[in-house]
Amino acid sequence: MIILGINDGRHHNTGASVLIDGRLVASVEQERISRIKMDNAYPHEAIDEVLALAGVQPDDVDVVALANLSRWDQRPYLNRLFRHVAELGRQEPLIRRFYWKHQYDRFTRVLRPRKKPHGVLSRKPRETVEHHLAHAASAYYASPFRGEKVAVVTLDGSGDFSWGSVWVGHQGRLEHVRHMDAVNSLGLLYSAVTVYLGFKATRHEGKVLGLAAYGRPEPLLSRLLRHVNQDDWDHLLDARLARVTLRQFADMGQSVIREMCADLSREDVAAGIQALTEKLICQWIRRQMRELGVGKLAVAGGVFANVKLNQRLLALPEVDNIYIHPNMGDGGLATGAAYEVHARHHGRLHPRLLEQVYLGTAIDRAAAMQALRDAELSYEEPEDMATRVATMLADGKVVARASGGMEYGPRALGNRTVMAACNDPSINQWLNKKFQRTEFMPFAPVILEEAAADYFPAWKPEHVAARFMTITYDASEKARKNIPAAVHVDGTARPQVIRRQDNPDYYDIIAAYRDLTGVPSVINTSFNMHEEPIVRTADEAIRAFLSAGLDALILGPFLVTR
pLDDT digits (tens, 9 = 90+) for 210-259: 999 999 999 999 999 999 999 999 999 999 999 999 989 999 999 999 99
Rounded to 5 degrees, what are φ and ψ at 374?
A: -65, -35
| Reported confidence tier of residue 108, pLDDT bands at 50, 70, 90 | low
- Phi, psi at residue 20, to the nearest 5°? -120, 115
Higher per-residue pLDDT: 107 or 39:
39
- Domain at 362-561, CATH from 1.10.760.10, 3.90.870.20, 3.40.50.920, 3.30.720.110: 3.90.870.20
How confident is the model over 280-294, as a mean pLDDT? 98
Whether residue 110 is predicted with pLDDT greater than 60 in this model: the reply is: no
Query: pLDDT of 142-192, one tens digit each?
Result: 999 999 999 999 999 999 889 999 999 999 999 999 999 999 999 999 999
Q: What is the pLDDT of residue 102?
A: 55
- Over 90: is that where the pLDDT of 356 sits? no
Cα–Cα distance, 453 to 444 (Å, whole number)? 16
Residue 427: pLDDT band with limits 50, 70, 90: confident
Helix axes 205-212, 307-314, angle to 10 degrees: 60
Question: How far apart are the C-alpha atoms of 46 and 359, rounded to whole Å?
Answer: 12
3-state DSSP assignment of residue 346: helix
**CA dist 516 → 8, 113, 270, 449 (Å):** 48, 59, 40, 18
| Mean pLDDT, range 186-214, rounded to an integer | 95
Comparing 182-324 with 362-561, is the CATH topology the same? no
Largest separation between any pair of C-alpha atoms in the chain:
73
**DSSP-derived pairing of the beta strands 15-20 and 23-29:** antiparallel
Residue 155 identity: L
Residue 52: burial class (beta carbons within 10 Å; 0-12, 13-18, 19+): middle
Going by C-beta distance under 8 Å and a sequence separation of 6 or more, which residues neighbour residue 540? 35
Q: Where are the beta strands (DSSP E) in 334-487?
A: 362-363, 399-402, 404-405, 416-420, 445-448, 473-474
Alpha-carbon distances, residue 503 vs 97, 497, 540 (angstroms): 56, 11, 22
Nearest to 338 by CA among 48, 24, 69: 24
Residue 498 forms beta bridges with which residues? 448
Mean pLDDT value of segment 535-546 = 97
Paired strand residues for 497 = 447
pLDDT of residue 439: 66
- What's the chain's average pLDDT? 93
pLDDT band at 9 (very low <50, low <70, confident <90, very high): confident
Average the pLDDT over each of 72-86, 94-108, 246-260 and give the range with the smallest value: 94-108
CB 557 within 8 A of CB 368: yes
Domain 182-324 belongs to what topology? Nucleotidyltransferase; domain 5 (3.30.420)
**pLDDT at residue 100, as a whole number:** 60
pLDDT, one tens digit per residue, over 518-533 is: 999 999 999 998 789 9
CB 60 within 8 A of CB 2: yes
Residue 74 has pLDDT above 80, yes or no: no
Bridge partners, 15 (sequence order): 7, 29
Domain coordinates of the chain in residue numbers?
182-324, 362-561
Burial string for 481-508 (b: 16+ CB within 10 Å, else e) reads: ebbbbbbbeeebbbbbbbbeebbebbbb
Q: How far is CA 460 from the centre of its chain?
A: 22
pLDDT at 111: 54
Closest CA to 284 of 228, 220, 323, 213: 228
Reported as a pLDDT band with limits 50, 70 and 90, residue 76 is: confident
Written as one string, the DSSP assignment of 186-254 is HHHHHHHHHHHTT--TTTSHHHHHHHHTTS--TTHHHHHHTTB-TT-GGG-B-HHHHHHHHSSSSHHHH
At 228, which amino acid appears?
V
Looking at residue 69, what is its pLDDT? 85
Quick one: pLDDT at residue 425?
84
The answer on pLDDT for 418 being more than 80 is: yes
Question: Long-range contacts: 197-205, Cβ < 8 Å, 24+?
Answer: 197/266, 197/269, 197/270, 201/248, 201/249, 202/12, 202/38, 202/157, 202/302, 203/37, 203/38, 205/302, 205/305, 205/306
Give the residue-averaged pLDDT of 353-377. 96
pLDDT of residue 10: 66
Q: Which pLDDT value is given to residue 114? A: 79
Task: Determine phi and psi for 221, rounding to 5 degrees.
Answer: -55, -50
pLDDT beyond 80 at 436: no
Report how far residue 353's alpha carbon sits from residue 266's, in angstroms, rounded to the nearest whole number: 40
pLDDT of the residue at 95: 80
